[in-house]
Structure 1
Amino acid sequence: MKLSMWAMVKGQFNKLPPVSEADLTGKTVLVLGANTGLGFEASKHFASMNPGRLILACRSQSRGQAALEELQAKTGYKKAELWIIDLADFASVTKFADKFEQDGGRLDILVENAARAQLKYEATKDGWESSLQVNCLATPLVALRLLPRMMQTARQHTTVARIVVVSSEVHYFASIPKELLDRGNAIATLGSKDYCTPRIMRASYPTTKLLNIYFMRGLNEYLGPTAPIIVNAVNPGMCVSELRRDLPAVIAFISRIVERIMAFTAEEGSRQLVFGALGEAKNPDALRGAYINQSRVEEPSDFVIGSAGHKAQSQIWNEMVDILKKVDPRVSETIDEYLSGA
């Protein structure tokens, strides 16, 4: 599928379907990036459905605590928990996952919402370009580390767990240059200071959203069609959010003007996160490996579904897994036990 800029703008003026609803009694929902924007609004929706536990995974203790208190005040839900995770720090992700394994609870829904948009190169303490690490390495690391608990939950409670990856329609405007793939270390190159020139950084966010699609499709493929876990990717559309808070002042000002004209509210965008987690309750397989836009399944970009794109997906998956196995040896155990052929 191809998406024109006009079609993308036009879609911003569509009336969105109402939020999906379900009884979440006894179930555990975990939302990354839950203290603001899409993550907070999605958490409010989940809280209204009485989950057994709702975990707000946030980077900042103070902002996370403020969000927790606001959630309780606005919804009356008293079982929300604040857990700290910094996706720009692999050690923090590993500590978070270790804590969840030791916690001993079930996990039914994982919403991977955290994202970063950068126009200037900024390295993490792990040596990666920050938006690439947050969006495309740490986010998969969370899913792979928590996958055993989700599989155990699904089997023990005879249910279907869900992983929702928040991507974007801007993936339609991204591709990975063939020469980059031919080098055999595309992710390492994309995350390096030498490669991340100002021109490359201007296209980095769409590229990370493309890699999100690749991760979702790869995970779905290796889980297989009968796994008790549904994994999908959603496009919330352009929303009023803090995603663009790190942009240069002039660009941020222009973005705010555009937001006022055509952006969805954070609540409207959050409906897509909830749909990925709860939609098609009578036929959940309809969302298996799906790219979701405005509460319906749509075809991802031609680059993704073409033969060259599928080859790139396999290469990107293998490179990502190799990187994450070095970051956290527990990834190897998950791959061997749950992801056939990965």
Structure 2
Amino acid sequence: MPGWNATNIPDQSGRTAVVTGANSGIGYVTARELARRGASVVLACRSAARGRAAEVRMRSEVPGAAVEFAPLDLADLASVREFAKAYGQRRDSLDLLVNNAGVMALPYGRTVDGFEAQFGVNHLGHFALTGLLLPRLRAAAPGARIVTVSSGFHALADVDLDDLGGDEHGYRRWIAYGRSKTANLLFTHELSRRFAAAGSTLVAVAAHPGYASSNLHAGASKLEGPTLNSRVAAFGNAFVAQPAASGALPTLYAATAPGVRPDDFIGPRFGWRGAPVRSWRAKRTFDDRSGELLWAASEKLTGVSYGSLPR
């Protein structure tokens, strides 16, 4: 693991991957490097214009790359269902699902289905997507993986199981973000536990990029306008953050490296930058009871059941 970089990615020929939010930043680099190593990659993006532009750019950077854009809006469960249906009509199996897309520290808003936006996109959208693609993942060769991108900011807050919808009047954007990232880790923990109980070879892991320059910061800044916070974020992206190519390494390691264990959390060596290593995470993200309760609530909210997995 020390010094691991994209040149260490094993051959991915014959494997198929779905990467959400693959039109820019860490998602784009993740998809490109998987394609460079021979994987067939689906670029699952909300914006058709940006998704198609990413496909064209990727083909120019990796001649012969097997990549294609497919529309996916994680803020709309109907879109998630349509994506999974379309994928199943075209492919029998899925070797790698990278739940990368996300939003960060947005002003209060709601998804199409009425969920607080950060929790709805970062957790519920990916929970539904994973469940709907689970039959294709189970049909893949042994060792198929699900990588969910969390954040070191999960340390800011635990999930509030009594207010998963988010109280508009008590809304604090960074706390809401931290809760959604804790939900990512609890989801990975509970998914790993259920795979083990089922005797499944599927591997669920999590990763975080440290502090990497990405559109997450830019997206929040555009919504809130030219404020001190947006200027600080712009300065950090330009002079402090590591580039997206480095920020993608923990995700790529989690997705491809031998020896990755179920429920691992992979991040940069020094917390915010560096080669990928197993990362610290809050003890509460290993709590079985919280994982079970979040899982049950997520199934109810999304209408997506993982009924084939034992509790």
- Return the TM-score normalized by structure 2: 0.90
Structure 1 residue 200: deviation in Å?
2.5
Structure 1 residue 104: deviation in Å?
2.9
Check conservation: 1:44, 1:71, Cα contact below 8 A.
yes
Partner residue in 2 for 1:138 = 125
Partner residue in 2 for 1:212 = 184
Check conservation: 1:38, 1:270, Cα contact below 8 A.
yes
Residue segments in structure 1 that go unaligned for 5+ positions in a row: 1-14, 326-330
Aligned counterpart in structure 2 of residue 203 of structure 1, from 162, 170, 175:
175
Q: Deviations over 1:37-84 (max 9, x none)?
A: 000011111111012x21111111111111001001111134211100
Q: Deviations over 1:67-119 (max 9, x none)?
A: 00100111113421110011111100000011111113321011110001233
Q: Secondary structure at the match of 2:44?
A: strand
Letter in 2 for 1:297: R
Cα distance between partner residues in 1 of 2:215 and 2:293: 32
Partner residue in 2 for 1:161 = 144
Q: Secondary structure at the match of 2:14?
A: coil
Structure 1 residue 315: deviation in Å?
1.3
Cα distance between partner residues in 2 of 1:313 and 1:105: 30
Check conservation: 1:42, 1:274, Cα contact below 8 A.
yes
Residue 202 (structure 2) pairs with residue 221 (structure 1): no
Partner residue in 2 for 1:103 = 90
Residue segments in structure 2 that go unaligned for 5+ positions in a row: 269-275
Letter in 1 for 2:169: T
Q: Secondary structure at the match of 2:70?
A: strand
Structure 1 residue 199: deviation in Å?
4.7
Richer in helix (by share): 1
Cα distance between partner residues in 2 of 1:289 and 1:82: 29
CA root-mean-square deviation: 1.8
Residue 277 (structure 2) pairs with residue 296 (structure 1): yes
Q: Secondary structure at the match of 1:54?
A: strand
- Mapping of residues 46-57 of structure 1, within 5 Å: 46-51=34-39, 53-57=40-44
Residue 123 (structure 2) pairs with residue 149 (structure 1): no
Structure 1 residue 262: deviation in Å?
2.0
- Mapping of residues 1-342 of structure 1, within 5 Å: 17-19=4-6, 20-51=8-39, 53-154=40-141, 159-176=142-159, 180-181=160-161, 186=162, 189-192=163-166, 195-197=167-169, 199-224=171-196, 226-244=199-217, 245-247=219-221, 248=224, 249-250=226-227, 251-279=229-257, 281=258, 283=259, 286-294=260-268, 295-305=276-286, 309-325=287-303, 331-332=304-305, 335-337=306-308, 339-341=309-311
Higher alpha-carbon deviation: 100-109 or 159-168:
100-109
Q: Deviations over 1:189-216 (max 9, x none)?
A: 2324xx1336533311111100100111
Q: Secondary structure at the match of 2:140?
A: helix
Check conservation: 1:27, 1:106, Cα contact below 8 A.
no
- The number of equivalent residue pairs is 296
Does the C-alpha gap of structure 1 residues 287 and 253 become closer, same or farther in structure 2, counting only changes over 3 Å? same
Check conservation: 1:190, 1:196, Cα contact below 8 A.
no
Cα distance between partner residues in 2 of 1:22 and 1:54: 15
Structure 1 residue 261: deviation in Å?
3.1
Cα distance between partner residues in 2 of 1:64 and 1:119: 22
Cα distance between partner residues in 2 of 1:300 and 1:202: 18
Q: Which ranges of 4 or more aligned residues in structure 1 deviate by more than 4 Å?
A: none
Cα distance between partner residues in 2 of 1:197 and 1:239: 31
Higher alpha-carbon deviation: 20-29 or 309-318:
309-318
Q: Secondary structure at the match of 2:139?
A: helix
Cα distance between partner residues in 1 of 2:279 and 2:245: 22
